[in-house]
Amino acid sequence: MSASTDRVVLAYSGGLDTSVAIGWIAERTRREVVAVCVDVGQGGEDLGVVRQRALDCGAVEAYVADAREEFVNDYCVPALKANALYEGRYPLVSALSRPLIARHLVRAAREFGAGTVAHGCTGKGNDQVRFEVSITSMAPDMDCLSPVRDLALTRDVAIGYAEEHSLPIETTRHNPFSIDQNVWGRAIETGFLEDLWNAPTKDVYVYTDDPTYPPLPDEVVITFERGVPVALDGRPVTPLEAVQELNRRAGAQGVGRIDMVEDRLVGIKSREIYEAPGAVALIEAHQALEAVTLERQQRRYKRQMEQAWSDLVYEAQWYSPLKRSMDAFIEDTQRHVCGDIRMVLHGGRATVTGRRTDTGLYDFGLATYDTGDTFDQSSARGFIEIYGLQSRLAAARDLRSGDVEAF
């Protein structure tokens, strides 16, 4: 069959909503639907099973991709180099996966001859913006469609449709939360969490165990090469393996639980629970290595850049020109971020207890208060004289004019 551009490529999760969306879109737009499922480490079902379900639900083609390695190398590692935490806390779990999924959607759209890309997001969240802005940033000619938002595909309608058409998908299982998860972490929202006073219950958490009953402390040494984790306890690992192993080990100690109210791009404040044990431990370790290896002004400037980078990524600008420029800056700062960080994982915290690097700016001779001191303290006197000069001039003037009272 020749490729026709009136097909629709749908971001398919294998769940109820996107399974129903296949037939729903086909009926309402009179177009063929191609289902695309991208594995970013969300766990759950075998991709072969998901692919077959898409076909059983009426997709003309179904494409599945194991993108875990690509996700960690090209999306999570840059976030680690940027120590990316939105509003100081959220490691951008979902915000990182959307641009990657969008990339696969656009690729599939070209391959299967589709002019429209569809996704299962509602009209209230950030993810619709991330999908659509990412898609049109790569393919300006592409149309975007959200069946929930644009074609009135509500939850109740979806259940009714699935039963009526006997779709091979469970309609009874009631999950009280809306969950998005990948190898970088897990995001949980809605249900009783919408009351800000309600504490999260135990069933919210999957990646982490209760930090109040931790097992014995776990010590880990993380080796970085230019900002990238390359070994754990001396064993070489890929970045994906590093994240996975730290998810297990830090998760067992309850590291990386986050309960916050955040500002969505669409203006809504929302309560979110996250768990990102590997990401939180890695960022903590990476920051500690940067403290030793980055020059002071560079580090200070980078901290501002990190915030701006996190805002941009949260706000759907992964493929923007500014983000690309920032990436170049951040990459350049990483050339000496090499060495080992030792941390203790315990009681919900990842605590750095040691650093070791050949490319650091820490000088034992300069720092020591014991024998071997190489710092010439006499030069501090002149430094302070000049450093405090303007403050001294200002103080003298303010005393003269009576602006401040004399001590």
Binding residues: 11-19, 90, 120, 122, 126-127, 130, 178, 262, 274
Phi-psi region of 224 (alpha: psi -120 to 50; beta: other; left: phi over 0): beta
Residue 108-127 contact track with ligand ARG, rule CB under 6 A, x = bound: ------------------x-
DSSP string, 19-66: HHHHHHHHHHH---EEEEEEESS--SS-HHHHHHHHHHTT-SEEEEEE
Residue 229, strand partner residues: 224
Query: Binding-site residues for L-citrulline, please?
Result: 90, 126, 130, 178, 262, 274
Structure tokens at 241: 């393996």
Respond yes or no: is residue 98 known to be catalytic.
yes
Asked whether 254 and 348 are in contact (CB, 8 A), the reply is yes
Least distance in angstroms from the C-beta of 193 to ligand ARG: 10
Respond yes or no: is residue 270 known to be catalytic.
no
> How far is it, in rounded angstroms, from Cα 225 to Cα 71?
19
> How far is it, in rounded angstroms, from Cα 402 to Cα 154?
70
What is the size of the binding site for ligand ARG (CB under 6 A)? 9
Would you state the torsion angle of the CA atoms of residues 140, 142, 148, 152, taken in this order, to the nearest 10 degrees? 120
Stretch that binds ligand ARG, among 25-33, 179-187, 363-371, 380-388 (CB under 6 A): 179-187
Least distance in angstroms from the C-beta of 179 to ligand ARG: 6
- The reply to whether 175 sits near ligand ARG by the rule CB under 6 A is no
- The reply to whether 178 sits near ligand ARG by the rule CB under 6 A is yes
| Catalytic member of 7, 31, 53, 127 | 127
- The reply to whether 16 sits near ligand ARG by the rule CB under 6 A is no
> How far is it, in rounded angstroms, from Cα 186 to Cα 91?
10
Of 19 and 334, nearer to ligand ARG (C-beta) is: 19
- The reply to whether 95 sits near ligand ARG by the rule CB under 6 A is yes
- The reply to whether 85 sits near ligand ARG by the rule CB under 6 A is no
Query: Binding-site residues for ATP, please?
Result: 11-19, 120
Respond yes or no: is residue 150 known to be catalytic.
no
281: Cβ contacts below 8 Å, ≥ 6 apart: 220, 222, 246, 250, 255, 256, 343, 345, 350
Asked whether 256 and 281 are in contact (CB, 8 A), the reply is yes
| Catalytic member of 6, 66, 89, 178 | 178
- The reply to whether 10 sits near ligand ARG by the rule CB under 6 A is no
Of 116 and 182, nearer to ligand ARG (C-beta) is: 182
- Output the CA torsion sign for 49, 244, 323, 179: positive
Which residue from 17, 132, 189, 209 is in contact with ligand ARG, where contact means CB under 6 A? 189
Of 224 and 314, nearer to ligand ARG (C-beta) is: 314
Respond yes or no: is residue 178 known to be catalytic.
yes
Stretch that binds ligand ARG, among 165-173, 175-183, 203-211, 374-382 (CB under 6 A): 175-183
- The reply to whether 179 sits near ligand ARG by the rule CB under 6 A is yes
> How far is it, in rounded angstroms, from Cα 7 to Cα 62?
13
> How far is it, in rounded angstroms, from Cα 68 to Cα 104?
13
Which positions are annotated as active-site residues?
17, 98, 127, 178
Would you tell me which residues interact with ligand ARG (CB under 6 A)? Answer: 94-95, 126, 178-180, 187, 189, 272
